[in-house]
Every structure is written in C-alpha cells, then in structure tokens.
Chains A and B, each alone.
Chain A
Amino acid sequence: MTSARTTLLLAGVALLAAARLEAGPRVPPVASYTIEAAVNAERVVTGKETVRFTNRTKHAFTDLALHLYLNAWRNDRSTWLVEQARGGGRADRGLAAKDPARWGWSEIHRIALDDGTDLTPGLKFVSPDDGNPDDRTLVSVPLPRPVAPGETLVFRVDWEAKFPRAVARTGWKDDYLLGAQWFPKLGVATDDGWNAHQFHAGTEFFADFGDYDVTLTLPKANKGHVGGTGVLKEETELAGDLVRAHFVAEDVHDFAFAACPRFEVVRDTFSAKGLPNVDIVLLLQPDHRPLRDRYLKATKVGLEDFGTRYLAYPYPVVTVVDPPWGSHTEGMEYPTLFVGGGRELAPKAAHAPESVTIHEYGHQVFYGMLASNEFEEAHLDEGFNTYATTKALEAAYGNPSLVVRFYGLPVTFAGVTVPYPFGATDRFHRWQLTSRSDAQAVPSYRQLDGNAVRNNAYLRTTLLLRSCERTFGEAVWAKVMKTYATRFAFRHPTTADFLAVVREVAGEGAAASVAGIVATAGSVDYAVTSIETHEARALTGFSGEGSARKFEVAENGKTATFESAVVVQRFGEAAWPVDVVFTFKGGSTLTRPWSGAERWVRWKLRGPKLISAEVDPARKCLLDGNTLNNGRRTEPDPRASRVWTTRFMFWAQNLLEAFSLLGIAGTP
C-alpha cells in the first residue's frame, strides 16, 4: 500500500474515531494517564506521565500504590522469576542468558503532585503478597494528605524503564517491540483501599478505567508500523530519525503498543447487522502473509459472536498484532489491541491462528469491559473467555482435526477429530490426577503453582460453564451469560456477582451446583459399581392366611419380567446433577435424574431385561474425570476390544520388527 493511501486511511480512521469519541466516555474515569515517552534503539523508555486519579470509593487514600511491572525482570530474585523458577508461569530460557540487554527494569526518578510537592523521598517498595524484600514491582508513595472520596488527585511521574527480551508477553525481539506493562500504573481503588499486588508469574493484571493520551517517540523505521491501544491520531516525523505517534483511548484500563518495521499493515472493516462497525488494523509479519485472511476472518468471528452473545465491541478500532517467531508475546490481550500468534506452516484443520485470535479478541469482553481482578479471580476472564472461545470456534469452524508436528512439519490426521472442548477436558483431568491443590475460590496468585492457576482459571472454569450449559439448558445459560455481561460491563465483577446472576436467572439449584464446584479443589466422578438383572421369580413358600394359606413353588422361565438392580456411586468430592439412563432389551430406555449429592444410590427396576446402565451418557457434566466407569453392561460386548486388541497386537508386531533393525540393520 502506498504511503499516500496509508495516510488517507489513517486520517479517515482518525476522523471516524474522533466522531465516535465525541459521544463521551461510558464510565466516569478513575485513573487517566497522559504519557509522553521515548523508546530508543536499546529499548530504554524515558517517560513522563501525568496521572489524574479520581477517588470514586468510600475510602480516603493516604498513599499511592503504583505497579512497576518491568522490574519483574530486573534480577532473578523478583517474585515473578522466583515463582517462574518453580513452574509458576510461562517458561522462558532467555533470562538465563548473561546478556544485560535481555533483562528489564523500571525506575521512578521523580514523583510529584500537581502543585510541585515532591513525593519521591517517601517512595518505598512493598511486597504485600509474599514479603519478598527483593521484589520491586510495587511501590507505595505516601501522600501529604488523604485523597477523600470524590476528590481528584493529579500527580506527575518521571521514570525510566527498559524492556526485556520479550518474556511473558512484553518486550522486544529483533526489531519487534511489544510495549506492555511499561509505565508506572496505579492499583485499583476500592472501598477497602488499594487493590494492588506484586507481579506474579501465574497471574495477570487489574486496573481502573480511565482515559489515555499517549505520545510515543520511536526510531523512524517504525513509521507506519505502529499500533496501540485506542486510536492512532497522528504520526509525525521528528529530527534525528525519529517518529512520534499519538494515541488516544477512552474507557480503557491499560495502554499497550506494538512496533516493528517489518509489520505489514492490513486494514478491514467489520460490519454485521445489529452491531456497530469496527475498523480492524492487522499488523502482520511478512512471513505470515498467508495467514492474513484467516486473522481477519477470525477477528470478525470474534466481533460477531461475542457481540451477539455477550457485549458489542464499543470502540472504533481493534488492533491485531501478529508477533514474530519466538517472540514470547503470543496470545495476549490489552484494551482494543491484542496479540495473536501464527506459524508459517499452519494447517487450517488445527484452527490456529483462529483459536488464539478469537480468544484474545474475546478478552476485549472478558477483561476489557468486564474488568475483573486477574490477580485474584483469574477464572473470571480466562475461564469465561475460554468457554466463550470454544463456542465461537465450534460455531464458525466446527471441530479441529488432530495435527501433529514432526520435526516442525505439521501433519494433519484428517480422520481424527479433537472435539471442543476436549483439549481442556483432558488437560484438566490429567492435572487433577496429580494435584488438587486449590479451589477456584482461592485467590489465583496464592495458588500452589502455575499449573493450579492455569487449570483452575482456564480449564476448570471452561468445563464448569460448558457443563452448566448442557445441564441447565442452552437458552437459560445464554441468558445467564448475557445478563452477567451487560450488567457488569465497565465494572469490576466478582465471582459473587456472577453467582448472583446464576441464582437470579437459572435458579437456586444451579447456583448451588456452580458454587459447589467453585468452592472445592476436589473432582467429580460418578461410577456404576454394580449391575444385575435376572428373571423375576414367582413366590416360593406360603402365601395367604388361614384357610387361604397355600404353598407355592416358583418355576423358572415362565415370566418375561426381569428384576434388575443398579448401584451408582459418587467417587469424587464434588457433586453435580446427573441423569442415569437404563437401557433394556429391545432398545427401550428409562432416565432417572439424580442430584448426585449422595455417596451412592441403588435403583431397583422391574420390567424388560436390563442391558446397561450409564451415568450421564449425554456427557452433560464435563467435570467427570473418569467416564470409563460411568456405565456397565449386564452382558459383555466384545466387539470393540476385539478390534482394538487385534490392531494393537499388529502394531506391536510392527514396532518390534522396527526395533529389529537396531540389531540386524535391515529395513525399517
């Protein structure tokens, strides 16, 4: 695209955005930032920010709590790196290198009130979560006088920071830079004071809504190849081979940007009936050019699906960043900007980059607008969004096929379907075999390790919501989700808020079931432990009384009625309402609902010969960790085992024959 056309398009987008912005903010801003920052070739940021904090709580704040997230990579004693070393977060080998360019840091040089009062001397690092004296990701700055409810405080921060080699989705790789969590940022003001945590390896962020006016000065090579939260108002060339990019965003709670001279800028517009038009800006790596249309389509799927089911995207632009290979910035969300992730060889059957694109777009709803506390209740954004993502993917693309990479080359096994949400189901239940460390109700950052956070946040929640949908009905559940989304948009919803919506829309029983799962670290497992069926026997012995008393002997084989008994047990610690289905000779079935709360239940049946009994054959409860024990037959059916044992035997023979080549050196 020529530069003239680019300029025209930029101007058009800016004008359109400006028109929409005139509608005014949707929520009263709490924390608004005006930032002027320059990033040099060494990825060092020199910045000044003016923060306008309006206290909309009942609490009087005597200090400021500011995040300095980039200090997570200042040295290996930070809480983030200590937690990562014990498996807390995304793995990364980069920081093991002895290259100082790979590390990051952030330092406040001066912090002062609007009237010039210098607050810097009082600045101190705090570690409320773990008491780590070496962690510098959170600072407390005492104020000369409290900020009373309703009052607005304006302060200025001069700071310097350095981006690390990209880790945990911020930093640089080669000429690519994802600027995220890069400026001193306020915690969340609540009625109980600041909600501000150190940076943890397993969890993400939490911030108040506000308006952002950000001016970035970057090396000139990035001109026309920069994207950021909100709308790019203008790009201006400066002396010294620099370019200045000016972004404006309203009603957001963070600001991130991406720059790479290699970005190919692709523009498109989303329009769908009943939803506002949205401009899509795709910043694409040139080696991912074949993914261009797939990225755009997936973004539109996200906009439409999430817009219809939950909340319409209210901003004029969404920016999609396609990160380069090995950047460690794949799959991350920021307001109005998200990072996807694609491979050069990307079979369509694998639904990648579609899945990551839709998921990260989905965070515009479950994080962007429903701004829950990711430190404490990571399930409210990650789990809800993963649930919504699988639904959107399923509706738009169907189920993926198995794709295995052999030495980097993908091979699609078209005949093997991996249905949604199988991946989540399998990974979650595998984790539960080895760990049941924490319930979802435990604050995420306090959970045992990264596996606990990931499994609780993403997987358990996805399976829980999917199970709700299947158990309580699609329509009911859709209403629950829609009500929750619309009621808490641009607020900080909690699990309690969600449970209240469930209770209101789906009823007390549903809310109790959901709350039960949220409160336990245990598993769900139902099993048919006993099944028997036999011909009903007539009475043997005396019947009647007095003169009517007579002796009878039952004879076998004279009745077509069978007596059957089935025992179903709850092996898991958690309960979920399930159906138990009995199948009789001739194909007739009988379904009995069971609350699943008791440890066991025995059913006695009289009628045709019982063939099988199965708990939850429709697989409504995806939380059940073992479905092999869910059913039993009264008589064996050897068909499947015959096929698969014969096949396995054959492949074993061939495997051993292949091993023979090690000894004889013949043909493979």
Chain B
Amino acid sequence: MRRDSVLVLAARGFLSALTTWKALLLALVFNLLLAYAFAHPVNAALRQALDRSPWAARLAAPHAPLFEFYGEMSRARPDVFGDLSAWDAVATGDEGERGGARRAPLAGFLSTTGVSSSAAGFAVLAAALAALLAGGFAGRFGAERERGSFAAFGADAARFALPSIVLGALSLVGIAAAYRWIYAATGTLYEADDLRYEWEAILLGLLRLGAFLVVAAIVRLVVLYTRAAMGRAGKANLAGALGAALGFLARRPVRALALEILFGAVGILSLLLWALLGPLWDGKDAAALALIVLGQQAVVFIRILARTAHLGAASAFLARASEAAAPRVYAAPAATVATESEPAPEP
C-alpha cells in the first residue's frame, strides 16, 4: 500500500490525533461547557414544564406524543425555542410559501429569542474556539518531537491564534457567502412554479445546493490544508501557508476530497449509531444516567477525534508530498574495468 494512500493517511491522522489526547479531552470539555450554557434555558424550561405535570408520564411512555408536546411547549413558552424558521429554511431549502414572498437568505438568525437566536452566537463561539484549538493541533502535527505535549499544544495554540482566528473567520464568511450568492441568489433567477414539471424544480434546487456544497467543501479544504501547512512550517505566515495549501490541493484534489468524505463518514456514522441506541433509555433508571452520559460523550469525542484526525491526515499528506518532492540522491555506479581482446583462435 502506498504511503500516501487515503487509508494510510487516515490511519496516520488518527494516530497523530490520539497522541494529542489531552488536547482532545480539552476540546470535549469546552464543547460540553458551551453545550451546557446553550442548552440550559431549554433544559430548565423542560424541567419546569414537565416535572409537576401529567405530561411527564405521557412523554416517558414508549410512544411519546412528542410532536404534540413540542407544539404545546413552543406555543406556551415561545421564549424558549424562539422562531426556528430561519434555521428550518437552511435545513430544508424551504423558500417560503410557494408563490409567496421569498424569504431573505440567511436572515432572521439573530432577530429572535430563545435558542434559535443564541444558536447563532454559540455557533460563532464554537467555531472560534475550534479555530483556536486547531492552531495547537496543527502545530503539534507539524512538529517532529513532543507531539503529545500538552504544554507545547498550548504554546502552538497561542502562537497560531491570530492566523487561526482569521482563517476561521474566512471559512465562516466564505461558506456563508457561498450560500448567499450561489444557492440563494441563483434561486431568484427563475420561478419554480413556472417550470412545467416538479422534477425540474427539484433538480434545479439540488443543482444549486450541489454547487454550494462543492464551493463550501473547497473552502473547508483550503482552510484545513492552510492550517496544516502553517503547522508544518512552524511559522504563523498565513499568506505563505495559504499559497502552499492552494498549490497542494490543486495538484491532489481527488485524495483530499476522499479524505474529507472518509472523515465525514466516521463522524456521521458515530452519530447515527447513537441515534439508534440512545432512545432505548426511558429515564426510569436513574442509575443508568451515568452510562448514558458516558456513551454520549464517547460519541462526541469520536466526532472531535475525527475532525482533528482529518487535520492530522492533511499534515501527513503534506509531509509525504514534501518527502516525495525532495531531490533524490543517486548512488554512483561502481567502476568496472573490462578488457576486450580478440578471441583466441580455437584449437
């Protein structure tokens, strides 16, 4: 197997990430703290609404009337969830009432109450924190020694803090702009209802979505490989790293994309697995709570690990490419002496 094959690079990425396990745990703790702050208003409202209500017994039943409860809860406490329509529009591609006024793209994320509003703030905070930690990971993956050193991780995170945040902001703006100008703007070029068949409208919508995703994936890969290049160079030179990443990705787009898909699949599969297993717990057994929480943290840890391993794999990919590009030293062939003479006449 080639040393720069996708599987080998993925394995090296995971190994690299695991050497930084203390930093990974730190990332998990940050995630947990942020999630606690984010979820607290909803969780407090749930306890307030349920604990002394006959609804508690209904929701603890096997076929809980979840849809009805959500309806009741979001109506009775509109301050808790807020208006989720902007998020819903992004998730489903719903462009408002058919034939009605178009929704302004990416509007409404901050102009409401409850988690729908705070989610945008937490998204930026999570992205900024991840960007900051990514500098530390990139530095360690690019280093020759002390890869598992937590102190060195902290030093790298500080050293690369500014370019990391800038990269994170670029990524955020790039993806948002791609959505606004590629997906949403192209939707105004035609009237879906004027197309003859529904499949034409669906196809056009999916093409627009596909174009956005491709551009978003490119933005993501550029940012990822720029981080890796910066870590390998050991210098907070954003422009140089960006140039190196662009050049690298231009020459190896297929394997870079394959790695993206592979790591994405690992993250999503762990989540899907939990989506099947998680609901088995009905809340009756309080002792099982610790087990459930541990399982949940394991899933989140795997997702953080996969995200970090992707950076590790990118770093390894860059390293392997550098090795391959280095001038080869050929050993000079040994000198030989040959004497030729006219064959002796046969007797």
Chain B residues with CB under 8 A of A130: none
Task: Verify B100–A646 contact, CB threshold 8 A.
Answer: no
Q: Which of B192-211 contact A (CB under 8 A)?
A: 192-199, 201-202, 205-206, 209
A325-B278 in contact given A417-B67, A661-B220 (Cβ < 8 Å):
no
Question: Complex: how many Å from CA A628 to CA B69?
Answer: 8
Task: Verify B224–A344 contact, CB threshold 8 A.
Answer: no
Question: Complex: how many Å from CA A246 to CA B180?
Answer: 53
Please tell me which one of the listed residues B34, B98, B266, B279 contacts residue A667 in the complex, with CB atoms under 8 A apart: B266
A340 CB, nearest partner CB in chain B, Å: 15
Please tell me which one of the listed residues A433, A631, A643, A662 contacts residue B283 in the complex, with CB atoms under 8 A apart: A643
Question: Complex: how many Å from CA A409 to CA B223?
Answer: 31
Chain A residues with CB under 8 A of B205: 407-408
Question: Complex: how many Å from CA A666 to CA B224?
Answer: 7
A137 CB, nearest partner CB in chain B, Å: 21
Task: Verify B168–A664 contact, CB threshold 8 A.
Answer: yes
Chain A residues with CB under 8 A of B49: 628
The interface size bin for chain B is 35 or more
A625 at interface, CB cutoff 8 A: yes
Chain A residues with CB under 8 A of B191: 93-94, 326
CB-nearest residue of chain A relative to B203?
A408
Question: Complex: how many Å from CA A633 to CA B55?
Answer: 10
B322 at interface, CB cutoff 8 A: no
Please tell me which one of the listed residues B52, B283, B306 contacts residue A633 in the complex, with CB atoms under 8 A apart: B52
Question: Complex: how many Å from CA A404 to CA B67?
Answer: 13
Please tell me which one of the listed residues B38, B202, B286, B306 contacts residue A642 in the complex, with CB atoms under 8 A apart: B286
A593 at interface, CB cutoff 8 A: no
B320 CB, nearest partner CB in chain A, Å: 20
Q: Which of B56, B65, B124 has the most CB of A within 10 A?
A: B56
B127 at interface, CB cutoff 8 A: yes
Q: Which of B66, B75, B260, B266 has the most CB of A within 10 A?
A: B75
Task: Verify A408–B75 contact, CB threshold 8 A.
Answer: no
A620 at interface, CB cutoff 8 A: no
Chain B residues with CB under 8 A of A343: 198
A405 at interface, CB cutoff 8 A: yes
Please tell me which one of the listed residues B31, B60, B222 contacts residue A640 in the complex, with CB atoms under 8 A apart: B60
Task: Verify A664–B51 contact, CB threshold 8 A.
Answer: no
Question: Complex: how many Å from CA A638 to CA B59?
Answer: 11
Q: Which of A629, A632, A649, A665 has the most CB of B within 10 A?
A: A665
What mask results when residues 637 to 668 of chain A are scored 1 for a CB within 8 Å of chain B, else 0?
Answer: 11111111111111011111101111111111
CB-nearest residue of chain A relative to B64?
A640
Task: Verify B130–A664 contact, CB threshold 8 A.
Answer: yes
What mask results when residues 79 to 90 of chain A are scored 1 for a CB within 8 Å of chain B, else 0?
Answer: 000000000001
| Residues of B contacting A: mostly | helix
Chain B residues with CB under 8 A of A91: 97-101
Task: Verify B198–A325 contact, CB threshold 8 A.
Answer: yes
Question: Complex: how many Å from CA A639 to CA B128?
Answer: 36
Q: Which of A90, A407, A653, A668 has the most CB of B within 10 A?
A: A653
A630 CB, nearest partner CB in chain B, Å: 8
CB-nearest residue of chain A relative to B71?
A426
What mask results when residues 395 to 417 of chain A are scored 1 for a CB within 8 Å of chain B, else 0?
Answer: 00000001011111100000011
Q: Which of A325, A326, A426, A663 has the most CB of B within 10 A?
A: A663
Question: Complex: how many Å from CA A345 to CA B199?
Answer: 9
Task: Verify A324–B278 contact, CB threshold 8 A.
Answer: no
B296 at interface, CB cutoff 8 A: yes
Question: Complex: how many Å from CA A641 to CA B281?
Answer: 13
Question: Complex: how many Å from CA A229 to CA B300?
Answer: 62
Question: Which 9 pairs of residues, A with B, have the shortest CB-CB distance?
Answer: A91-B100, A326-B193, A663-B127, A666-B307, A660-B130, A663-B168, A408-B202, A643-B283, A663-B131
A to B CB contacts below 8 Å, 22 in the list: A93-B191, A405-B92, A417-B67, A419-B68, A637-B60, A638-B56, A639-B284, A640-B55, A644-B50, A644-B59, A645-B46, A646-B289, A654-B303, A656-B35, A657-B126, A657-B307, A660-B126, A662-B171, A662-B175, A663-B134, A664-B168, A666-B306
Q: Could you list 8 further interchain pairs (A-B, Cβ under 8 angstroms) beyond the known A405-B94, A646-B296?
A: A325-B195, A326-B195, A344-B202, A614-B54, A626-B76, A633-B51, A656-B123, A664-B134
